[in-house]
Amino acid sequence: MKFARTIRFDKSDLNIFPIASEEGELAVVGTFNFYNMEQKDLKGKVRQAFTNGFMGCKTFGYSTLISLVNVTEEDLEKLKDDLGQYLIDKYGAPNKEIASKAASEEINLMLELCRDHETGSLLSISREWTEQGIKEKYRNLPKAESCAEQKIWTVVEED
């Protein structure tokens, strides 16, 4: 099944987000990180994460782009455990069962988002505050245009 992995083409994520995800982390949409915030609190790097960041689920940092890759059930089970623990640690989820259910919902959202796109495609996100709440838009760069032949990209710096 298809899922999202963080991808980095340059160092910009390291400079624009409060925490940048590492290359190749499984990722979720992560909008839940902003539900308890008010629009006036979104400033600087936090605003950048809100506006266009997917959340990597190893560092719980942000990535501007994700690449769609094939994952196993075991990958998603580990992701559910890691994300569930994050929800307990960061947001005080009352127990593992509730945290696991919330993590599953976030994972299912990403599975649904990835379902209709080719493996190797790139996705970006754009969020904004509206009168109805947070609105998300996704942009797909199909595989042929993205040149995403690899599962994980590596940027090599040259002197």
In a domain, 159, yes or no: no
Number of compact structural domains in the chain? 1
Task: Please give the residue range of the domain that contains residue 123.
Answer: 2-146
Within a domain: 91: yes
pLDDT at 47: 97
Residue 33, pLDDT > 70, answer yes
Question: Is residue 156 one of the residues assigned to a domain?
Answer: no
Mind giving me the DSSP string for the chain?
A: -EEEEEE-SSSHHHHHSSSBPPTT-BEE--GGGGTT--GGG--HHHHHHHHH-EEETTT--EESEEEEEE--HHHHHHHHHHHHHHHHHHH--SSHHHHHHHHHHHHHHHHHHHHTS-TT-EEEEEEEEETTEEEEEEEEE-HHHHT--SSS-------
Instruction: Say which range, 7-11, 18-22, 148-152, has the weakest mean pLDDT.
Output: 148-152
Whether 153 is covered by a domain: the verdict is: no
Establish if 115 belongs to a structural domain.
yes
The pLDDT assigned to 143 comes to 72
**54 domain-assigned:** yes
Residues 89-114: pLDDT tens digits? 999 999 999 999 999 999 999 999 99
Q: What tens digit of pLDDT does each residue of 36-53 get?
A: 898 889 999 999 999 999
Q: What is the pLDDT of residue 144?
A: 59
pLDDT at 48: 97
Q: Is 152 inside a domain boundary?
A: no
Average pLDDT of the segment spanning 80-94: 97
Supply the mean pLDDT for the chain: 91
**pTM, rounded to two decimals:** 0.86
Domain assignment present for residue 154? The answer is: no
